[in-house]
Amino acid sequence: MKKTFWLDDIKDKAGGSAYYRSAIAIDINDFETKFDVNVVGIGIENDLLSDKPSWNVQFIVKEDKK
């Protein structure tokens, strides 16, 4: 199954796409399997001290309706 995640507050139409080899799909799958959750979004932000991209990724998960 393909999962697509979009940035918040996008007002314009998408202008295309590109494929980039990354381990993020494997990381998401491992996280979902380990914690028995469904990732419905991801969050990334720059490092607060350097303002360069951070290694941290936030996995936003589907609410558990138990």
**How far apart are the C-alpha atoms of 13 and 57, rounded to whole Å?**
25
64: left (phi over 0), alpha (psi -120 to 50) or beta: beta
* Number of domains composing the chain: 1
* 1-59 per-position pLDDT tens digit: 787 777 777 788 888 888 889 999 999 999 999 999 999 888 888 888 898 888 888 99
Beta strands in 1-66 (DSSP E): 39-43, 58-61
d(CA 58, CA 3): 16
Query: Is 12 part of any domain?
Result: no
- Whether the model clears a pTM of 0.85, i.e. scores above it, the answer is no
User: Which structural domain, as residue segments, surrounds residue 66?
Assistant: 38-66
In a domain, 6, yes or no: no
Q: Is residue 52 part of a domain?
A: yes
Within-domain flag for 14: no
